[in-house]
Amino acid sequence: MSAILPGGYGNFSHSEMDLLRSVLLSKEVRKGISLLKPGQICQSLYFISSGSFIQFKEKDEIDQNVIDLHVEQEWMLNQQSFVKQQPSETFIQAYTYSTVHELTITELHNLINRSPVFFQLARLLEPTPSRITLFDDQLSPAEKYKFVLETRPFLLQAFPLKLIASYLKITPETLSRVREKLSKN
């Protein structure tokens, strides 16, 4: 749990980090178990110690529209539901057996009340730049894939190509063509 707040999330003293660790709840999550379902309000942030998660909307009983992919050593939440305290439209589901550390909204408020330094944790609530970039319809499929290769290559080892394609908002066939073309260059 030493990397629980990698660079960019604030400067905390040892005692402040100890205080943060003391309020985190550790959970083991089996594959397929959802931490959040549509209609529920996101009440927690999660730090992934091990494993992986997908955040998705169901298109139908077979297909999923992948909103985000999460792997170990990352924080995850449904940003819109958590910040606005509105019902979620997405699932957050364990893709593999995982271990997470949960920070509830109540404990986050308690931390801020104890020390204003914890306002720095608000950076965890900001939308990730990768999602903003990938949702930009101006990018070609090749540019989207290159972005993942450059910024989050570990996703390619953690998830099958079908999920990567959904995450990139392209078809699996398009992703295969992009990968083939890039491998020839």
Q: Tell me: the pLDDT tens digits for 109-142?
A: 999 888 888 887 777 777 665 555 555 667 899 9
pLDDT tops 80 at residue 9: no
pLDDT of amino acid 53:
98
Does 122 lie in the same domain as 91?
yes
Does 95 lie in the same domain as 146?
no
pLDDT of amino acid 33:
97
* Interatomic CA distance for residues 85 and 53, integer angstroms: 22
* Interatomic CA distance for residues 158 and 126, integer angstroms: 24
57 near 90, Cβ under 8 Å?
Answer: yes
Domain of residue 89, CATH code = 2.60.120.10
Quick one: 112 exposed, middle or buried, by C-beta within 10 A (0-12, 13-18, 19+)?
A: middle
pLDDT tops 80 at residue 100: yes
* Total domain count, the chain: 2
Does 118 lie in the same domain as 58?
yes
Does 145 lie in the same domain as 95?
no
Percent pLDDT > 90 in the chain is: 57
Does 9 lie in the same domain as 53?
yes
The sign of the dihedral angle between the CA atoms of 10, 52, 171, 141 is positive
Domain boundary among 127, 155, 176: 127
Does 74 lie in the same domain as 165?
no
pLDDT of amino acid 16:
86
Does 173 lie in the same domain as 85?
no
Does 46 lie in the same domain as 103?
yes
Domain that holds residue 155: 128-185
CB-based contacts of 110, cutoff 8 Å, min separation 6: 23
Does 63 lie in the same domain as 149?
no
pLDDT of amino acid 2:
47
pLDDT tops 80 at residue 5: no
127 near 18, Cβ under 8 Å?
Answer: no
> For 39-92, what is each residue's pLDDT tens digit?
999 999 999 999 999 999 987 666 788 999 999 999 999 988 998 999 999 999
pLDDT of amino acid 133:
55
* Mean pLDDT, the chain, whole residue set: 87
Element (H, E) at 113: helix 105-114
Amino acid present at 81: S
pLDDT tops 80 at residue 174: yes
> Can you list the positions of beta strands (E) in 51-173?
52-58, 64-71, 75-76, 91-94, 98-104
